[in-house]
Amino acid sequence: MRTASIRLTDLWPRRSSAAALPPGQRELRVFPRFSDNPLRPLPSSPEPATLSVGGAVRRELTVTVDQLPDLVPRTTITADFHCVTTWSVCDLRWSGVPFEAFWHEVIMPRCEPEPDVDGVVVRGLDGVQAIIRLDDALQPDVLLADRLDDAALSPVHGAPLRFVSPQQYGYKNIKHVCGIELYRTTPASTYGAKEHPRARVAFEERHSIIRGAALRWPYRLAVPLTASLAERSARRS
Ligand SMILES: Nc1nc2c(c(=O)[nH]1)N[C@H]1C(S)=C(S)[C@@H](COP(=O)(O)O)O[C@H]1N2
Ligand SMILES: [Mo]
């Protein structure tokens, strides 16, 4: 299995022989847990798990995560995952509901967003959040996923629900999703300048100020330690 007992040497991103990776990215053959704060424990999820939609809407909405595939048809995508710190994992199979369909078929009719909504803040149960412009959120490969590689999404990789946006760096792919808040004016980032408003992998938008290529090495050097700490703290909690 891709996640069974990961060794430190597995956590050094290597040039890929097979896949053509985006600029500055290298491959990991394992999929570790990762975070800007690797010591943050796994959050606990309420039972049943819910997803709330609020912010610039006429009506707020809360649905259970189990309900989602009844509201919007489920889909499966295969995508590579790219962390801003330069590691990529190839061919992950995510299953869930497309965000675009959730937007048009659930949020629009039920919540009636303000006409000038520009994007959403996606929030995780651990307090981590990402700011996503609406045009990025509505890409056809963006999912609210509850399954990974034909199994229920594990707590390590973001149960009960994960925002999956393959064209954006990992930090926009929020785990343990519990809330979506619509905004009209872009809020301040909880990551500060580290969060690029778009974080598109293809354009190497790693940071809002510093040029992406300049951060490859400083970020890459921290990968093995960060990933092994995140793995250990997640598997203990
Ligand atoms: N809720 C939450 N989501 C998060 C993070 C986090 O710390 N908390 N870290 C982000 C970062 S930086 C990365 S690279 C990926 C890592 O996902 P993984 O732990 O499944 O490898 O999750 C992203 N989403
Ligand atoms: Mo990341």
14 falls within a domain? yes
Which tens digit of pLDDT belongs to each residue from 55-113? Answer: 999 999 999 999 999 999 999 999 999 999 999 999 999 999 999 999 999 999 999 99
In this structure, what CATH number is given to the domain that contains residue 14?
Answer: 3.90.420.10
DSSP per position, 31-44: -----SSTTPPPPP
Over residues 164-175, the mean pLDDT reads: 99
Dihedral in degrees, nearest 10, Cα atoms 8, 12, 17, 21: 130
Per-residue model confidence (pLDDT) at position 5? 74
How much of the chain exceeds pLDDT 70, in percent? 98
Phi, psi values for residue 213, rounded to 5°: -65, -30
- Substitution site in 25, 31, 35, 81 for ligand 1 pocket (most atoms within 8 Å of beta carbon): 35
pLDDT of 1 over the 50 cut: no
Say how many domains are in the chain: 1
The percent of the chain in helix, strand and coil, each rounded to the nearest 5, is 25, 30, 45
Residue 94's domain comprises: 8-236
Which tens digit of pLDDT belongs to each residue from 2-50? Answer: 555 788 889 999 998 777 899 999 999 999 999 999 999 999 999 999 9
pLDDT of 163 over the 90 cut: yes
2 falls within a domain? no
**What amino acid occupies position 27?**
E
Over residues 106-124, the mean pLDDT reads: 98
Place of tokens 């295969």: 78
1 falls within a domain? no
What distances in angstroms separate CA 16 from CA 80, 88, 110, one per listed residue?
A: 13, 10, 45
Q: Residues near ligand 1 with C-beta < 6 Å? A: 31-36, 83, 124, 126, 128, 157-158, 170-171, 173-176
**What amino acid occupies position 215?**
L
DSSP state of 105: I
Over residues 187-208, the mean pLDDT reads: 98
181 falls within a domain? yes
Phi, psi values for residue 167, rounded to 5°: -80, -5
Q: Looking at ligand 1, which residue's alpha carbon is closest to its atom 23?
A: 171
Task: Output the CA 137–ligand 2 centroid distance in Å.
Answer: 18
Closest ligand to C-alpha of residue 127 is 1
Per-residue model confidence (pLDDT) at position 65? 98
